[in-house]
Amino acid sequence: MDFSGKTVLVTGASRGIGAAIAKAFAAENASVVVNYLQNAQAADATVAACNALGGDALALQADVTDQAGARRLVADALDAFGKVDILVHNAFAPFVFSPEKRKLFWELDWSDFQAQIDGSVKAAHGMIQAVLPGMLERADGTIITIATNLIAHPVVPYHDYTTAKSALVGFGRNLAMELGPLGIRVNTVCPGLVYPTDASRAVKEDLKQSLIAQTPLRRIATPEDVAGPVLFLASPWAGFMTGQTLYVDGGAMMR
C-alpha cells in the first residue's frame, strides 16, 4: 500500500486512534496533517513519529466543531501541501467511557446530547464542506469517519455519545449517495473498545475481561488495529466501496 503523492488530514490526531492513523499513513509515504485542539506537545510528538517513518507531516491546531476553524485548518493544509486527498474525521467531543460514572438517561440534559452531536456531526459537516471544493475539482477524494460499534450493540448505554455516532453513520451514507457520482467515496469505521486511549483509561478490568470473553478474537483493539482498516478504505483496494460501515471489533459484531 503506497500513499505517495497523497495528502491526508486526520482530525483529533495528537493521541490515541488519530495518532495511530496518522503514523500508519506516514509509514506508507503520505503527507499528513495532524490536527489537534489543545495538546501541542502530543501533536508535535505525532508529527516527529510520522516524519521518522518516512512521511511529511505537520501539526495544525483547530477546533473542528467551529466552521471557521475547519475552513482555516483546510486552508492551512492547502498552503502546506496543495491539496487534501483524504479526510479522516476522528475528532469527537470529550467523553469518558466508564459505566460507573455515566449518566443515566433521566439524568441527561439535551446539552449533553448536543455536545456529542457537535463533536461528531457538526464537526464532520464543517470539515467536509471545507475539503469538498478541492475534491470536487479533481473529481476524486476519500472521506472516512470514525464511529463506534456501540451503535449496533450498546453493551453500555452511553446515550449521548452513541446517539451522536449513530447520526454520523447516517450522515455519511447520505453523503456517499450524493458524492459517489462526483468521484468521492465516504465510509465509516466502527471500532469496539480501543485501549489504551485517554477516553478508555477509566474502563475497569472486569468490563474489559467481559468484552474480551464476548469477542471471537479474544482481545481488545489497540489504536493500531483501527488504523489498518482506515488505510484500506482510503486505498485503491477499496475503490468500489462507499457508504459502508466497517466494524473493527474482533468479531463482536458480525454484519
Burial of 254 (0-12, 13-18, 19+ CB in 10 A): exposed
Cβ partners under 8 Å of residue 100, min gap 6: 204
Q: At what angle do helices 123-138 and 159-179 cross, to 10 degrees?
A: 20
Closest CA to 189 of 237, 123, 255: 255
Active-site positions read: 161
Convert 14-51 to b/e letters by CB count within 10 Å (16 or more is b): bbbbbbbbbbbbbbbbbbbbbbbbeeeebbebbbebbe
The per-residue DSSP string of 120-178 comes to IIIHHHHHHHHHHHHHHHHT-EEEEEE--GGGT--SS--HHHHHHHHHHHHHHHHHHHH
Q: Is 104 within 8 Å of 148 (Cβ atoms)? A: no
Burial of 101 (0-12, 13-18, 19+ CB in 10 A): exposed
Grid cell digits, residue 196 = 489504551
Closest CA to 226 of 17, 13, 19, 23: 17
